[in-house]
Amino acid sequence: MENINLIDSFAEFKELKNIDRATMMSVIEEVFRSVLIRQYETDDNFDIIINIDKGDFEIWRNREVVEDDALEDPNAQITLTDAQKIDDDYEVGEEVTDEVKLVDFGRRAILNLRQNLASKIMELEKDHIYGKYKEKIGDIVTGEVYQVWKKEILVLDDEDNELILPKSEQIPSDFFRKGDNVRAIVSKVELRNNNPLIILSRTAPTFLERLFELEIPEIFDGLITVKKIVRVPGERAKVAVESYDERIDPVGACVGMKGSRIHGIVRELRNENIDVINYSANTQLFIKRALNPAKINSIKLIEDSRKAEVYLKPEEVSLAIGKGGLNIRLASQLTGYEIDVYREVEEDDEDVDIEEFADEIESWVIDSLKGIGCDSAKNVLNIPRAELIKRTDLEEETIDHVLSILKSEFE
């Protein structure tokens, strides 16, 4: 009976294919010995034989034969009379080995043993999952969406381990249903209430880097290096790449013929606009490339404050700044320089610095205008009213007030 009651627990161990046999044997023996210690106060003179495949076990006790009147420890000693009941040939001083039946310990002991085994199995599983995913931090994993909640998604991997994809780590346009496959990187692994918690991310720059490694063989082989990635998930990303082989065009290799290579990455990222930029140690050249598609006339670097003043034609300003200032913001993050955009005006073109109107226009309004590259009166007047409202996010009345003041300056 005692063996039958434990077969299920043994079977659970057999299913743990990632747990090596030696570990399983060690854990099971440890559980058995804990039962023996509770029963006999020691396990020193016991041998335990375990057959995991059959779900079977044997416990043998070794005792020294002593004279009938010299018995002091029934667990470690056996009287000559009792020993000769087992075999007539036993003599004093010899060792008797006999099997101990677990059923003799009682039903409670068997129940405790099963509970301990189940607990050890659970601990091994948790340790295995934690260790496995700890080594996978920064790597892409694929799983199936099992449950969708308001703030997170429960994903199961191919071993039915539970992974969490929080809403904050999803691309804004992500939409998943139960049964969908999802790709993400392992962002964080921690223990919460002694349970492994695996957090996934689709918004981390590392996710985009791993996608590049998967889709572009030259990056996977190390012929092209990804120097830096900045992104606003689902909107736009800038990726600086470099090749140490002059024969390889890093940008062309990443984009592919007619965008064939990067198309799969863009689709995975919900049509995120990806700018691939050829990295350069020349800061001015790198900033020019980072502000693509705008054409830069000149750049003035202020190294002490890590600032860059970029001068370009008026019609290029909106391209450099980008929708909602996204292009210039990402370019600043990529290059590590705070970039300010200035329009180049003809020397004979009369203009007035926007700061000159500080007594009529509030400072926060002036800052908003300068934030989109408008540092002079004509800079502002050259931009259509609707475009000014859209790009500065100022009220219509505020824009009309500003335009009225600036126009009167040139009348």
Q: What CATH number corresponds to the domain at position 68?
A: 3.30.1480.10
Strands (E), 159-272: 162-166, 181-192, 195-201, 224-232, 236-243
Total Cβ atoms within 10 A of residue 330: 21
Structure tokens, 263: 């198309």
Backbone angles phi, psi at 181, to 5 degrees: -85, 140
| One-letter amino acid of 344 | E
User: How does DSSP classify residue 89?
Assistant: T
Give yes or no: residues 142 and 171 share one domain.
yes
> Does the residue 406 lie in any domain?
yes
Structure tokens, 398: 């505020």
User: Sign of the C-alpha dihedral, residues 77, 81, 85, 90?
Assistant: positive
Cα separations in angstroms, 332 against 170, 208, 328, 354: 24, 19, 6, 24
- How much is the average pLDDT of 342-351? 64
Structure tokens, 352: 């007035």
> Does the residue 341 lie in any domain?
no
Strand, coil or helix: 130: helix
Looking at residue 72, its pLDDT comes to 84
Give yes or no: residues 124 and 20 share one domain.
yes
β-pairing, 77-79 with 56-66?
A: parallel
345 or 347, greater pLDDT: 345
- How much is the average pLDDT of 9-27? 63
Q: Give the integer Cα–Cα distance in Å for 378 and 311.
A: 15
Give yes or no: residues 125 and 142 share one domain.
no
Q: Give the integer Cα–Cα distance in Å for 83 and 93.
A: 11
- The CATH number of whichever domain residue 171 belongs to comes to 2.40.50.140
Element (H, E) at 147: strand 140-148
Give yes or no: residues 76 and 151 share one domain.
no
Strand, coil or helix: 171: coil
Residues ≥6 apart with Cβ < 8 Å to 309: 299, 300, 301, 302, 340, 342
> Does the residue 167 lie in any domain?
yes
Looking at residue 6, its pLDDT comes to 54
257 or 19, greater pLDDT: 257
Cα separations in angstroms, 161 against 146, 168, 201, 339, 409: 11, 21, 16, 46, 69
pLDDT in tens, 175-193: 999 999 999 999 999 988 8
- Among the candidates 131, 164, 190, a domain finishes at 131
Given a cut of 70, is residue 375 above it in pLDDT?
yes
Q: Is the separation of the CB atoms in 62 and 89 below 8 Å?
A: no
Q: Give the integer Cα–Cα distance in Å for 118 and 56.
A: 16
Give yes or no: residues 62 and 142 share one domain.
no
Given a cut of 90, is residue 48 above it in pLDDT?
no
> Does the residue 166 lie in any domain?
yes
Looking at residue 284, its pLDDT comes to 93
Place of tokens 């049509």: 271
- How much is the average pLDDT of 209-217? 94
Looking at residue 29, its pLDDT comes to 81
Looking at residue 347, its pLDDT comes to 47
> Does the residue 317 lie in any domain?
no
Model confidence band, residue 243 (pLDDT cutoffs 50, 70, 90): very high
Give yes or no: residues 112 and 162 share one domain.
no
Q: Give the integer Cα–Cα distance in Å for 240 and 235.
A: 17
Give yes or no: residues 91 and 141 share one domain.
no
Q: What's the chain's average pLDDT?
A: 86
Residues ≥6 apart with Cβ < 8 Å to 175: none
Model confidence band, residue 349 (pLDDT cutoffs 50, 70, 90): low
Element (H, E) at 60: strand 56-66
Give yes or no: residues 62 and 115 share one domain.
yes
Give yes or no: residues 140 and 127 share one domain.
no
Dihedral of CA atoms 368, 374, 375, 376 in degrees, nearest 10, equals: -120
Give yes or no: residues 126 and 17 share one domain.
yes
Strand order across the 224-232 sheet: 224-232, 236-243, 273-278
β-pairing, 273-278 with 236-243?
A: parallel
Give yes or no: residues 18 and 108 share one domain.
yes
Residues ≥6 apart with Cβ < 8 Å to 20: none
Looking at residue 345, its pLDDT comes to 59
Q: Is the separation of the CB atoms in 169 and 186 below 8 Å?
A: no
Element (H, E) at 144: strand 140-148
- Among the candidates 149, 173, 203, a domain finishes at 203
Looking at residue 1, its pLDDT comes to 39
Structural domain containing residue 14: 2-131
Structure tokens, 279: 């990295």
> Does the residue 240 lie in any domain?
no
Given a cut of 70, is residue 174 above it in pLDDT?
yes
Looking at residue 2, its pLDDT comes to 46
> Does the residue 208 lie in any domain?
no
Helices (H), 104-192: 107-134
Structure tokens, 209: 């880097």
Looking at residue 14, its pLDDT comes to 54
- Among the candidates 107, 131, 155, a domain finishes at 131
Nearest to 281 by CA among 222, 223, 228: 228
Most confident among 84-88, 154-158, 323-327, 376-380 (mean pLDDT)? 154-158
- How much is the average pLDDT of 339-351? 70
Structure tokens, 96: 């008797």
29 or 275, greater pLDDT: 275
> Does the residue 160 lie in any domain?
yes
Give yes or no: residues 127 and 30 share one domain.
yes
Q: Vertex 63, ends 70 and 6: CA angle to 5°?
A: 140
pLDDT in tens, 111-135: 777 788 778 778 888 888 999 999 9
- Structurally, the chain folds into a number of domains equal to 3
